[in-house]
A and B are shown apart, each in its own frame.
Chain A
Amino acid sequence: MNGKSQSSTSSNPLPRITLDPTPEEKTINSGSGATSEFEATAARLEEKYSAGEGAPGAEPEPEVIPPDGAEPPPRGVVSDATMRLILARVFAGLEKTHGAHWHLEAEDLDLLSPINVDAVNEWAALVGFTDSRYKATIAWSVVMALFIASRSKAGALLLEKLAEAISRLFTFGKSNTSGVSPESPGSSHRQDTEKPS
């Protein structure tokens, strides 16, 4: 038993214990030979842990099954409706501050919400968000960061860079030939924010 500290509160080797019962102990012995204190404690514990079903802490939490037809509760970090609201607010802020090219239609929101929900759930699991004690603080920080980014020029530029990088992932092999059209809504903003050469 290497790497182990083992001890006893008596001398070793432990001898066979042959203590004679005192007269008082003899008087309290029951018919089976056990003391009345032991019998009382054993009876109390047998009742407490009877059949292994009433053991405290032994029962698992019952699973809550929603009734037929009812929608199951959302199991992710954020629901579709909440994500839709956040996206709508962020893009509305971007549109108001940086131009109409940030405008997002309702159907665009319908398309964007599920993939954003999946992304948030994946990243939340990856960084241990669900186990964190600071869920509210982290969620607040993310929402505030999005809000500030949507209202500032630097934030908008950063979001545009990210959006371009992501869109490049989906247009792999075409980016070298197509480029951004001068008439496209994004190009005017690019010209606004790019440094003069």
Chain B
Amino acid sequence: MAAKFFPGYRVVVYNTAGSYNSTGERRNPLPGFVNAYSVPELCAALRAAGSEGPARVCFTPLRSGNKREVFNDVCFLVCDFRNVIFAVEEIWNFQAPNWSPDALNECYLQWAHYGLRLMWNAQIPQKTDSALRSMTLDVYVGQFDRTLDLNAIADCRLPPEAMAQVRRLPKRKFIHRMESGEWRVEP
């Protein structure tokens, strides 16, 4: 997902699992991003960017408080920040298959009018909200073989011939379904 949001001018990354800018073996560095580890730090970073300036913030909510409450608050904050790409890692942490919190619903159902673009990823698609899956315009799908995950991916409006390839996709290859409905396999 980093490769997709990285060129953005104003980006807020919700680093749910701490995989970005981490120091571990499988780290995903985000050079040029400001790290925020608490909500006040995130507020300060966004305030410094102002309403039109560049913003590149990686928010890692480790031990920031109640997981879902923090996520809701950050959703509202990002909505008010406006004109921003909001990239949420492992979004299923805050959802059920038929439910999303109100704050997240606002993010992807209403605030596009104010320049908010939601990006998300999930290694467990079956746990993501079906409404989000069906509303998503641009989809990248890697290899999956579990039935429940495949059913969830089908909600992303992948054509049958693309779905047939999901099980046998090689590593680091993705099926990209575009907003136009076309699809292709991409590295």
Contact = CB atoms under 8 A, between A and B. Distances in A.
Contacts of A56: 65-66, 69
A5 B125 contact: yes
B184 interface: no
Interface in A79-132: none
Interface in A1-43: 1-19, 21, 25, 29, 32-35, 37-42
B39 A8 contact: no
A151 B84 CA distance: 75
Nearest to B170: A2
A14 B7 contact: yes
Given A21-B51, A45-B77, A7 B38 contact: no
A55 interface: yes
A contact face: mostly helix, strand, loop, or mixed: loop
A9 B80 contact: no
Nearest to A6: B121
B130 to A, nearest CB: 13
Contacts of A45: 39-40, 43, 73, 77
Contact of A10 (B67, B117, B121): B117
A45 B103 CA distance: 15
Size class of the B contact interface (CB-based, 8 Å): 35 or more
Interface in B41-79: 43, 46-47, 50-53, 63-67, 69-70, 73, 76-77
A13 B7 CA distance: 8
Given A41-B76, A41-B77, A5 B140 contact: yes
Contacts of A58: 63-65
A140 interface: no
Contacts of B178: 11-12
Nearest to A35: B51
Contacts of A19: 83, 115
Interface stretch (A46-54, A156-164, A176-184): A46-54
A57 interface: yes
B156 A1 contact: no
Interface of B: 1, 4-5, 7-10, 38-40, 43, 46-47, 50-53, 63-67, 69-70, 73, 76-77, 80-85, 108, 112, 115, 117-123, 125, 133, 135-144, 153, 156, 169, 171-174, 176, 178-179
Identify the 8 closest CB pairs spanning chains A and B, nearest first.
A33-B50, A55-B65, A57-B66, A6-B121, A8-B119, A42-B43, A38-B80, A49-B39
